[in-house]
Amino acid sequence: MQKVLVSASHYDTLCKDAWKLFEENGFEVVFDPAKPFPSYTTEEIEARSDREDIVAAVIGMDDYRDEKKYQALPNLKAVAKFGVGVDNIDGELAKKYGVKALNAPGQNSNAVAELTVGFMLDVLRYVVPLHKEMEKGKWPRYMGNEIKGKTVGLLGFGAIARLVAKKLTAFDVKVLAFDLYPNEKAAAELGVTMTTREEVITKSDIVSIHIPATPETHHLFNAETIASMKDGAYLINPARGALVDLDALADALKSGKIAGAALDAFEVEPLPVDSPILECENIVLTPHTGAETVESYYNVSMTTAKDIISVLKGEEPLHCVNR
């Protein structure tokens, strides 16, 4: 039987409808709930006895930029990212091997947007550090900051950033945004001022990152960029870990240049226990959990399952990034 290899977490518990959809269409779902970090290395793929039966893959953080992976899966027809960002899939390489690269745009946007706004409130009010102090039996008095009246800069103005802007309309803030392909109509409707990348970075009290990781944006937030931010600004990264130089950010947090930061993605995942960022105080760190909601898992799993089935039936999928 043709198989769909799944390495998206919680697929057996939160994605039962998608699993059933695959089975109803004659495909066996292969998922290992015991795998602590569900992605598969190329070596693990090469060692599988059933690799010639695998015709599609639903992936999380697996690296599909390695040509050997495609060579190890000779009958692969589709690889679907369980989410939006496809920086771990080489679309042109996939096309070379006749593989459709798929994703699920917009299906987890609200989950990430809600976490982003939560991050802002957390770091402004020092929520996590105060909680840690109370765990020690202490009762600290810390003067936080209100989000009202602040300037929030959105680096990127795609689906997630637009939802963040919409949610921020209730907080009486000024919102700046930069995007390579600005949606002026959406900006006008949301009261957002489209401007340059430099102005977003240098004029905002809170900078929230919503752009993909590319060779051009690698370590975009390095020591130089962080130095150009407002003194006492806050940095939010619910996007991709490679966008931020963690060591430079840790230095800025320790010096007070940056008042607080919240990060959901890291260049190396899981985050190494000796990372300097863990020594900082006013931080909120979450393990790439932006899309981890019951609602988004249902949406993403059904979207990717339907597109994979379309590909395997010889039909055109709705969401393909390497047509």
Annotated catalytic residues are: 240, 269, 288
Burial of 38 (0-12, 13-18, 19+ CB in 10 A): buried
* DSSP helix/strand/coil, 163: helix
β-bridge partners, 29: 4
Whole-number Å distance between alpha carbons of 244 and 77: 34
**Tokens at residue 86, please?**
């496809």
Closest CA to 297 of 83, 7, 78, 39: 83
- Name the one residue in this structure whose structure tokens are 């399952």: 305
Q: What dihedral do alpha carbons 66, 270, 179, 164 form, nearest 10°?
A: 140
Give me the helices (H) in the chain, please: 11-14, 16-24, 42-46, 67-72, 91-96, 109-125, 127-135, 159-168, 184-190, 197-203, 223-228, 246-255, 294-312
Cα separation, 131 vs 125, in Å, equals 11
Q: Give CA 49 to chain center in angstroms.
A: 32
Quote helix, strand, coil % in the chain, to nearest 5.
Answer: 40, 15, 45
Question: Buried (b) or exposed (e) across 95-122, using 16+ Cβ within 10 A?
Answer: eeeebbbbbbbbbbbbbbbbbbbbbbeb
CB atoms within 10 A of CB 47: 11
